[in-house]
Structure 1
Amino acid sequence: MAQARKRSTSDVEAVVRAGRFDVAALQEIAGDKSFARGSAYKADGRVEVMTIDDTRVIARVAGTEIYRCELTGRGKSFSGHCTCQAFVDWAFCKHLTAVALTVNDLDPEALGQASNRLGKIRYHLRTKGIDRLVEMVLDLAGRDPKLLEELELSATLDTADDATLIAQFKKAITDATRVRGYVEYRDMRDWARRIDGVLDRISVLRDGGKVLLVLELLEHFFARMDEALTRVDDSDGGGGACYARACEIHLAACEQSKPEPIKLARELFKREVSSDWDFFFGASETYAGVLGAAGLGEYRRLATEAWQKVKSRQRGRTEVQPNGEYALRAMMERFAERDNDVDGIIAIRANDLSSAYRYLEVAQACLDNGREQEALKWAEEGLWKFEDEPDKGLVLFACDLLQQNGRNEDASALLWKLFGKEPSVDLYQRLISAAGDRKAQIGVRDDAVAMLSARAEKSGSQAEWDVFGAPDVLVRVLMAEGLLADAWAAVGKHGCREIAMEELAKASEVDLPAEALKAYAQLVERKVRMGGQGNYEAAYAMIKRMRRLDGATQHSAYLADLMTRHKAKRNFIKLLASKQAS
């Protein structure tokens, strides 16, 4: 057997130099936080490049566990995949960043080793012969239960009849989804990974044409997962992602097998309105191509029959559970939309007017279909009915329509009432907008400042401070009006949260630099005393801003004093030293 030509170090270096990853593009796609963490991972030597060629890099990164990373492309055009949860949530993670930065800095010798690593292994295995390879794989399987299970199922796929396949796969599903007591957050990734492995094999079945088996297996899977998800901490959504993937496999299998549409409609309808989860929400639309006219007709019949029972609140046998009413209502709306039945959509939404938000939904449906006056009528009715507990969304919706109809005084009255309950800068800006001329706007400003000042005087209880934050709103309103000195006076009298003080300090750097410096110094002190890398980074960001406001001598003296007083905060001192060095 002829050995493939071994790539020279110069060949590899030329490839990587031409295809290295653009750092600016990398930072943009990763974001500052992931880029910084990826840089730290690279500096700590956590990346092991497995193989590299013209277009692809495969590497392992040591984090909480070992992650497999793959990068394709070069320069400013590249993409990647990582086995970590952050990649699932945010698409580009610190591990991929670390790999790209490591590749950029590989020396010629390391490049050569990485490019030839898997090639050497491949050549070595080819020289062993089939029998020896079989023994090697079986030896590994004896030490790795997951590999052994993979090999057993693979062998079953090649030799077993349908009954055996069903039995073995159902057992695999049961084992993978089993919950003993409760699956804690820290164990969820392994639990979801086992389920993903079973779904991989079910996908192989589907690709092999055994779609009817797949549909039967997925019925078992959904039943198991419906129960299992009630006993796991799925904060990161790993279990839900497995369920969603199974739904995708189910849809693809239905598209391949074309099941009887009436039966499928009944099964999907039952899942949509009876499940505690929303994975089959909107199934009539998702499966429309498979259901066809007959299936959609049956779906509509079932929905209409159930909806009549919900409307009349009749007791008796129905597939609709209390938590399925929302799904049923949405289902009826979708059928009405198919018919372009605006009155039907409004009637469906108006069936439940138990909250101000429900009125908003009806009013929005009217407005979306060009019925502005009808929308305003519904909005005002909702505001009247729920006068003592106004919904902010409904108030703002009504105010917009009132202003469009020249009823600025009515809009202002609603805004003032809401502002008194939930003061915010956004509501203040709306009040200014509704006021009209500048004289009226100044009157609004003075009234708002007086109201907020009085409210801030009473903000003694932590509960009221947390809910309404009147001192913060007061400071931000004065900032919006350019009254920075008044804003600082309000801070001195009533205090405010750190984020509002920092915003005011930034706004004051030009006109009131002494106030800004004083505030930054207070905030830095608080951050450093609290400790933690995040607080240290935030403190340093403010120190950088202080440097631009302070004289060089005074700033050096400030830093020296800060470092002396907090010398026990070693990570903070280390951060300052590294930033000053760079």
Structure 2
Amino acid sequence: MQLLAVEPTAVPALSRRAVERVTTALTHMDDSSGGVGADLHALMEVHAQACSLAPPDTKRLAAWLAKIRLDGPGWPDFELRDYATALGENGRAELGHIVEERAATAEADVFGSTPFEIRILREQLAEVSGDVDYYVSVVAADLRTARQFLKIVNALRDADRACEAEQWACRGLGQLGNPIEMDRLRDVYVELLLDRGAEAEALALRQQLFDEHPVQSRYFALRRTAERTDDWPGLRAEALQRLRDAVAARSAFVEELLGVLLDEHEHAEAWQVAVAHDDVVSESRWKQLIELRQPMHPADVIEPWKRLIEQRLAMTSDKYRYRRAITMLRRLSEAYRASGNDTGFQLYLADLRHRHKRKTSLLAKLDNVER
């Protein structure tokens, strides 16, 4: 970045070389942490910025970007809009020509459609053209996912064409798709309804979806919308009861209810629900509940801590189970001490040692707890 400030003309070539070398290196290494990939993304941003300040030959830049997208290993990713200025009209035309040449000879993907790499470049070229109708027509060539509908909806919304955006959103919601993507599309649809004053319609949609499947995400979505329409005070109790009824029918909804109760700061009820359904509450949720409960009610958390310790010690697939159990033992010791029952902890520890007397590595760690 310092070189960019003092000698910008040198940076496009240098950053391009760096991108190519890191891209090659990534094909031979494990980047499960994502650190190198993040660095590569940052390098692409530097390259795009440098090209905007000191544009290289537009045809060569177009050919390079096409090679990355169409012939590369799948990275680095980039947004063509970042290169729009550097490419200019001639560069964009050259890139479009390359894309269409490749499309003419490309084999269809497993769905019988144009390969993703070509489709994404077509879409990005249409986006930087500034022609919204053209962009919509290009994206609409592949409407298999809610993500495609969302691209169209956002483009129309940004162009102040809310009525058309709402129609496309409604059409997209009539399809089947990835639940996360459908939720995003639905959120935008609800926003469009609220923007045009259709509050009752927006709220009815949220209520219907929550009633069909009472989970945290839909509860929170209902709350957001009802807060916008000032209906939440009257709906909150009804929504919570819907979750309680779901738990009464199926214990699979316990985690959903607990998540909502904690978010609503109904800590006492959350504890009661967890105690009543202790066999289906996850370890992470128990820890969250215990941390809230232990300061004021230390005696209440003793048995839950014991269950978690026993469960962790039984997890033979976890090579860190002893270390994690010891951490929980220390918190159990604090709970016993705060409740005025130091003897109780010593008795439990002695019983634990007796039951696991053959596990020498565990016994050594238990010695540290007793000190």
Task: Give the TM-score taking structure 2 as reference length.
Answer: 0.68
Does residue 355 (structure 1) correspond to residue 145 (structure 2)? The answer is yes
SS of the counterpart of 2:174? Answer: helix
CA contact (8 A) 1:273 1:319 kept: no
CA contact (8 A) 2:203 2:225 kept: yes
SS of the counterpart of 2:348? Answer: helix
Give the equivalent residue in structure 1 for 2:93: 301
Q: Residues 330 and 316 of structure 1: is their aligned pair in 2 closer, same or farther, counting only changes over 3 Å?
A: closer
Mapped partners of 2:34, 2:253: distance in 1: 36
Give the equivalent residue in structure 2 for 1:19: none
Give the equivalent residue in structure 1 for 2:285: 500
Mapped partners of 2:269, 2:119: distance in 1: 48
Deviation at 1:393, TM superposition (A): 1.8
Equivalent residue in structure 2 for 1:411, among 193, 199, 203: 203
Q: Which amino acid aligns with 1:441?
A: R
Alignment of 1:75-94 (within 5 A): none
Mapped partners of 1:264, 1:477: distance in 2: 51
Give the equivalent residue in structure 1 for 2:128: 335
Q: Which amino acid aligns with 2:348?
A: Y
Mapped partners of 1:298, 1:575: distance in 2: 70
Does residue 441 (structure 1) correspond to residue 236 (structure 2)? The answer is yes
Q: Residues 384 and 411 of structure 1: is their aligned pair in 2 closer, same or farther, counting only changes over 3 Å?
A: farther
Does residue 526 (structure 1) correspond to residue 311 (structure 2)? The answer is yes
CA contact (8 A) 1:274 1:319 kept: no
Q: Residues 253 and 383 of structure 1: is their aligned pair in 2 closer, same or farther, counting only changes over 3 Å?
A: closer
Mapped partners of 1:329, 1:419: distance in 2: 41
Mapped partners of 1:247, 1:425: distance in 2: 38
What value does the CA root-mean-square deviation take over the aligned residues? 4.9
Give the equivalent residue in structure 2 for 1:7: none
Mapped partners of 1:249, 1:398: distance in 2: 36
Deviation at 1:301, TM superposition (A): 0.6
Equivalent residue in structure 2 for 1:279, among 55, 62, 76: 76
Q: Which amino acid aligns with 1:397?
A: V
Mapped partners of 1:316, 1:437: distance in 2: 55
Q: Which has the higher contact order (CA 8 A, sep 6+)?
A: 2
Mapped partners of 1:276, 1:441: distance in 2: 50
Q: Residues 297 and 279 of structure 1: is their aligned pair in 2 closer, same or farther, counting only changes over 3 Å?
A: same
Q: Which amino acid aligns with 2:302?
A: L
Q: Residues 394 and 373 of structure 1: is their aligned pair in 2 closer, same or farther, counting only changes over 3 Å?
A: same
Give the equivalent residue in structure 2 for 1:487: 273
SS of the counterpart of 1:277? Answer: coil
Mapped partners of 2:240, 2:42: distance in 1: 54
SS of the counterpart of 1:483? Answer: helix
CA contact (8 A) 1:471 1:491 kept: yes
CA contact (8 A) 1:284 1:299 kept: no
Give the equivalent residue in structure 1 for 2:325: 536
Deviation at 1:483, TM superposition (A): 1.8
Alignment of 1:46-125 (within 5 A): none
Structure 2: segments with no counterpart, 5+ residues: 1-9, 109-113
Q: Which amino acid aligns with 1:378?
A: W
Does residue 428 (structure 1) correspond to residue 219 (structure 2)? The answer is yes
Deviation at 1:475, TM superposition (A): 3.4
Deviation at 1:328, TM superposition (A): 0.3
SS of the counterpart of 1:385? Answer: coil
Q: Which amino acid aligns with 1:487?
A: V
Q: Residues 368 and 453 of structure 1: is their aligned pair in 2 closer, same or farther, counting only changes over 3 Å?
A: farther
Structure in which a larger fraction of residues adopt strand: 1
